[in-house]
Structure 1
Amino acid sequence: MGPAGYPGTEEYWPGNDVVDLISITINGKSELQATGYPRTKDMTVLLKRKIHRTRFMDKPILILGTEDPSTNTQAKEFLPVAIKDIEREQATIYSTIASDSSSSGPVASRTTKPVIGVYDPKQLLLTAEPVKVEHLFIDLGNVEDGLFAKEFTAITARKHDVILTVEPWKDKNYKKGDNVLLNTINGTYDPIFKKLYSVLSGTKQTVYLRFAHEMEIPIERYPWQSQDPVVYSKAFRHFMSYSSPKLKNVKRIWGPAGDRGSIEWWPGGDVVDYISVAIYGLPDKNITDPKKQESFSTIYARKHHRMLFARKPIFVTEFGVKGPEDLQMKWLDDAANVINTHPEIVGACYFNLADNPKAWGQIAAPDWSINRNTFISFTKELNP
C-alpha cells in the first residue's frame, strides 16, 4: 500500500490480507499541490503525523524520499527524533490500538428502537412523546457559575437522559490563545471537572458525555481544533478517566464531525463507549440552496466508512436539514431508512435551531428548525 500519508490515509486501507508493506512519501509533488489542509513545515511533526496515520495497520513502514536532496537529508536527520517521540507515547496512546483490522468497523448493537433526542433551546420539540434525551452544550465557565447544574437539573427533572457536550474553554481564567488541551492534561481544569462529575453523580438518568467535539476539522472555531492528535487523545483520556471508578450512568462519547481523517484523533476504545458524528444537509458554506443538500444516506455512508477502525456503536448526536417542509420530510424519510438498516446507530438527536452566525461569515447561518409534526412523523418511521 503506497499512500502519501496525507490526512485521510486510513480511509483507503484495503485490508491486511493484501498488504505486506506500507510506504509513505515525504513532500511528494502531488502532496505539495494539495490545498485541503495546511502544509506541515516541521519535519519531525510531519514524520510523526504520517506514521501516526498508519497506526491501525500492523505492517512495516517504508519511508520514500523525493527528488529534493535537502528534503531527504532533513527526513533522515529528524526520523530518529520522530520515532523517539512516538515511543514515548506507547503506553498512553499506542498500546490501546487493536491491530486486527480484519474485525474492524462500528459495532452493531441496537436491538430496540433507537434513542431519540433533540437539541431544542426554544423547547418546541422536547415535550413530544418520542423524545427521551436532550442535548446540552456547556463550557467550563458554565460549570463554575452554576448554570450547568441548573440546566442539567431541569432536564433530568423532565425524566430525560442527557447528551452533554463539554467544551473545555471559557473558564474564569481563560485567555484567547490558551492551549486548552495541555491545560486539561496538566490538571488545570481538574477542580472544574470535579464539580461537573459531582453533578453527574447526582442522577440515575443516563448521561452521554461528549468532550471537545469536532476536533478534526482544519479550522479554529474552537481552540481544540487543528491540534496534535496525540495531545488531543491524551486530553480526552484525562477527562474521561477523571472519575474513578467510572460512573455507571455515564456513557463516554468520542465526537468527531466525521470529516476526512477523523480517526487520526481516536483516543482508544478503553475510554469510549460510543462514537458520535454530525450529519447536516449542507456540506459546506459555499452551498446555500437547500435543493443542493446532500442526503442523509450519502453523508452517513462516507462518515461510517471513516470509522473503519473503531469498534464502537454510533450515536448521531447532531443532525439537521434546511429548507421547506416537503424537502425536510423527504430528507428525514431517507434518514429514517438509514437508521433502520444500520443497527450500529443506537440513537439520533435532531438539532432544532439555527447554527451560530459567526461560523458562516458573510452568508446567513442555516436554520435547521423543523415543524413538530414533521419531527413526529420522522420518529414514527423508525423501526421498533
Structure 2
Amino acid sequence: MKKILISSVILGLVLALGGLWIARKSIISTYEDDLSKRFYEPILGFYDKTGTVKKEVFPVKHFTITWKNTGLWFDNTALAKTLSGDTAVFFTIETWSKNSIFSRADQNVIEKVLTGEFDQKTKELAQILSKTNKPVFVRWNPAMELPEYQYPWQFQSPPAYIKAFNHFATQLKKEAPNVKIVWGPAGYAGDSEYWPGEKLVDCISITLSEKKQMDSVSFHQAILREIKEKLHRMRFMNKPIIILGAKEKMPFAFQQSWIQEGTKDERIFTNTIYSSQNFVPDSVTKPKRSKMILGVYDPLEKLTQLPALQVEHLFTDWGEIQKGEIHKKIQAVVARKHDIILTVEPWKDVKKMNDPDVLQNVLKGQYDSEINMLYELIEKTPQKVYLRWAHEMEIPIHRYTWQSQDPVVYINAYRYFMLFRKNKPKNILRVWGPAGDRGSIDWWPGDDVVDFISFAIYGLPDKNITDYQKQELFSDIFNRKFYRMRFANKPIFITEFGVKGPKNYQNRWMQNAAETLKNNKNVFGVSYFNQHDTPDAWGKIKAPDWSIDATTFQNFYTHLE
C-alpha cells in the first residue's frame, strides 16, 4: 500500500512538472520573435512624384518581423529564406518587447530603442539584409498616429517617436546602406507630427482602411476619397509613397488607375497647394521677433486705454460688410491710433442666414461684392490691418459653415480671398488662423498668401469641462500647437487666448503665458480675448467668460519682455 502511495506521489510530481514545463515553454514561446507573411496588409501600388522608385520593383512580398524581446534574432535561416527568389521584399518591424515572461507588452519600447537595447538585434538584421541585391524595404513601428491602443508605440510623444525612428534607421543604414527605410503612418489627421525628416526616410507608406458591404460605385468613390485625403497629408514630404491596404477585406479588386484618379488635384494645383514651396527644409531657421505686438479683443473697451496696447481685434461677417457696420468699428479703433486684427467670418448675411456652401460660393464669385467693399475700406484705413479669414477651419465640428470641409476647397477659397486684389494694399498683413488642432497643417494655404500664422489658446481642453481648475497651462497648449506648425516657415501671432476663473488663478495662468512667450522668439504678437465666448456654441453649458481686469493684463505684459 505504501509503495502504491509513493508511486502515485511520484507520478503526480512528474505530471505536474511536465505540465509546468509545457506551460513554461508555451509562455516563453509567446515572447519569442516571430516572422510571418503579412497577408492582411499587401502592397496595392505606389505614387511617386520623385521618379526614384522603379515600377519594375513591384510586386513586393510583405512580411512582419515581430520583436518580442531585446535579445538576438531568433531564426536567421527563416529570415534569409524570405530573401530568396527575385521578388522585392517589404518588412514591417513591430517591437513588442517584454520586461519578463509574465508582463504585458512594454509601453516603453520607444525608450528601449533610444537606450540602445535593440541595437544588437538591429545590427544583426542589417547584416543579413546587406547580403541581398534585391530591393528591400523596411518599415518600423507603423500607424503611430492612430488614437488607439493597438500598438505599444502609439500615444507616444511625436519627438520621442521621431528620435527612436531615426535611431533605428541610423543603425540599420550603417550596416545595410542599400535598404530602403519606410516611414509608415496610417495616413490619418496628425500623421505629419511624427514625420522624422527627409534625411533617413527613403519612402512613405499609407494604409487604406477596410471597405465592406459596398456596391462597386460606392467602393470606388470611397477609395478615391481616401487616396486623396491621405496623399494630401503627405504633400510636405517629397518622397515616393507606397499604398498598402486590407485587400481581403475589400469587396472589389483594387485598380491601379484609381491612384491616378485620386491624385487629380495634385496635377491641377501643382503650382499652388502642391507647390515645392511646401517642402520646408529641416535646416530653415524661423524668423525671430525684436518686440512683441500686444492686442486685445475688448468690445466693452475695458482694456483699450492701456498704454502698452498696440492692436485691437475685430470680428465681422458678410452682413456687417453689407450694412457698413464694420466701417464704424474700424473708425473707433483708428481714433485710438491702434492697428487692427480683422477676422472675417464668411457667414451671416443681412438676413442672418448662414451659407452651408460658403467656400464653394466664394470660389464662384458670389461674394465678390462684399470682398471688394471690404478691401476698399481697408485701403482707406491708415493703420495696419492683420487680415484673418475663415479661422479654425480644421476643428471637426460645424460651429462655422467652413469647418470640416475638404482642405483643397478651403485652401482655394482662402487664396481667392487673399489674392482678390492683384496689388495687395500695403497696410494688409495676411493671417492664416487654424485652431492648432491635430491635422491643422493639412489646411496650409501656401507661403505666398500668409504673413503670420495664428492659433487659439484657451485653458479649457473640452467644452464639457466647466471646472476652471482643470484648465491646461498656456505653456502645454502652446508647445503642442506650435510644434504642429513646423512645416510652415512663418512667424506666429496668437490672435486669441484666454483663461476663466478667479483673479488669483488667472494671474498664475497669465504669468505662465508670459514666461512661455518670452522664451519663444517666433511669436511676434498676442491678443487677449477679453469677453465671454459665444453662448450658442456651448449648448446647455454656460459659455466661459475669459474676461480679466486691467491689473491682470498689466502684470502679464510687464513679464513679456
Superposition TM-score, scaled by structure 1 size: 0.93
Which amino acid in the other structure matches residue 201 of structure 2? V
2:283 & 2:303 partners in 1: Cα distance?
39
The one-letter code matched in structure 2 to 1:2 is: G
Q: Is 1:2 the counterpart of 2:184 in the alignment? A: yes
- Native 8 Å contact 1:281 1:294 kept in 2: yes
Query: Aligned partners of 1:14, 1:176: CA distance in 2, in Å?
Result: 42
Q: Does 1:108 find its partner at 2:287?
A: yes
SS at match of 1:210: strand
Q: Give the one of 406, 424, 428 matched to 1:246.
A: 424
Query: Per the alignment, in what secondary structure is the counterpart of residue 524 of structure 2?
Result: strand
1:20 alignment partner, one of 189, 202, 206:
202
SS at match of 2:448: helix
1:275-354 paired onto structure 2 within 5 Å: 275-354=453-532
Match of 1:266 in 2: 444
Match of 2:171 in 1: none
1:93 positional shift: 1.6
Q: Give how far 1:304 is off.
A: 0.5
1:38 equivalent in structure 2: none
Q: Is the 8 A contact 2:453 2:493 kept in 1?
A: yes
2:396 to 218, 232, 252: 218
* Long gaps (5+) in structure 1: 33-40
User: Hey, what's the Cα distance between the residues in 1 that align with 2:444 and 2:308?
Assistant: 32
What amino acid sits opposite 2:370 in the alignment?
A: I
Identity of aligned residues (%): 51
For 2:234 and 2:275, the matched residues in 1 are separated by 14
Secondary structure at 1:334 match in 2? helix
CA contact (8 A) 1:4 1:28 kept: no
Match in the other structure for 1:58: 238
CA distance in 2, matches of 1:118, 1:238: 28
- The equivalent of 1:84 in structure 2 is 264
Q: 4+ runs of 1 displaced by more than 4 Å?
A: 74-77, 172-177
Change (3 A) 1:253 1:47: same
Whether the aligned pair in 1 keeps the contact of 2:499 and 2:546 (CA below 8 Å) is: yes
Cα gap change, 1:378 to 1:183, in 2 (>3 Å): same
Matched residues in 2 for 1:181 and 1:236: separation?
8
Once the two structures are superposed, what CA deviation does each residue of 1:308-364 show, in whole Å capped at 9, x if it has no partner? 100000000000001111111111111001111111100100000111111112211
Over the aligned positions, Cα root-mean-square deviation in angstroms equals 1.9
Work out whether residues 185 and 235 of structure 1, in 8 Å CA contact, stay in contact via their aligned partners in 2. yes
| 1:275-316: CA deviation from partner (whole Å, max 9, x where unpaired) | 001000001112211111100100000000100100000000
- TM-score, length basis structure 2: 0.64
Distance 1:66 1:122 in 2: 57
Kept in 2, the 8 Å contact 1:48–1:86? The answer is no
Q: C-alpha separation between the residues in 2 aligned to 1:75 and 1:343? A: 49
Whether the 8 Å contact between 1:108 and 1:342 is mirrored in structure 2 is no
- Given the superposition, is the C-alpha separation of residues 96 and 189 from structure 1 closer, same or farther in structure 2, using an over 3 Å criterion? farther
Conservation of the 8 A alpha-carbon contact between 1:104 and 1:308? no
Is 1:43 paired with 2:236?
Answer: no
CA distance in 2, matches of 1:222, 1:12: 29
Could you tell me whether the CA contact under 8 Å between 1:96 and 1:268 is conserved in 2? no
CA distance in 1, matches of 2:356, 2:520: 40
Give distance in 2, aligned partners of 1:247 and 1:131: 24
Question: Residue 170 of structure 2 corresponds to which residue in structure 1?
Answer: none
CA distance in structure 2 between the partners assigned to 1:184 and 1:97 by the alignment = 25
Q: Is the Cα contact below 8 Å between 1:281 and 1:322 reproduced in 2?
A: yes
Deviation, 1:103, is 3.2
Give the CA deviation at 1:28.
Answer: 5.7
Q: Give the structure 2 partner of residue 37 of structure 1.
A: none
C-alpha displacement at 1:72, in angstroms?
6.8
SS at match of 2:480: helix
Choose from 313, 328, 352 the match for 1:135.
313
Question: After superposition, what is the alpha-carbon deviation per residue over 1:219-257, rounded to whole angstroms, capped at 9, x for unaligned?
Answer: 010010000001100011111111221111110000000
1:348 match: secondary structure: strand
Q: CA deviation at 1:9?
A: 1.1
What's the offset of the Cα at 1:378?
A: 0.6
Q: For residues 10-48 of structure 1, what are the alpha-carbon distances to aligned partners after superposition, in whole Å with 9 as ceiling and x for unaligned?
A: 11111111211100000169xx9xxxxxxxx83212110
* Partners of 1:149 and 1:215 in 2: CA distance: 26
Offset, 1:108: 3.0
Which piece of structure 1 moves more, 6-15 or 72-81? Answer: 72-81
Output the CA distance in 2 between the equivalents of 1:319 and 1:72.
49
Query: Is residue 2:299 matched to residue 1:121?
Result: yes
Distance 1:330 1:75, change over 3 A: farther
Compared with structure 1, are the counterparts of its residues 371 and 20 closer, same or farther at alpha carbon in structure 2 (3 Å cutoff)?
same
State the 1:157 CA deviation: 1.4
Q: Work out the CA distance in 2 between the residues paired with 1:276 and 1:208.
A: 10
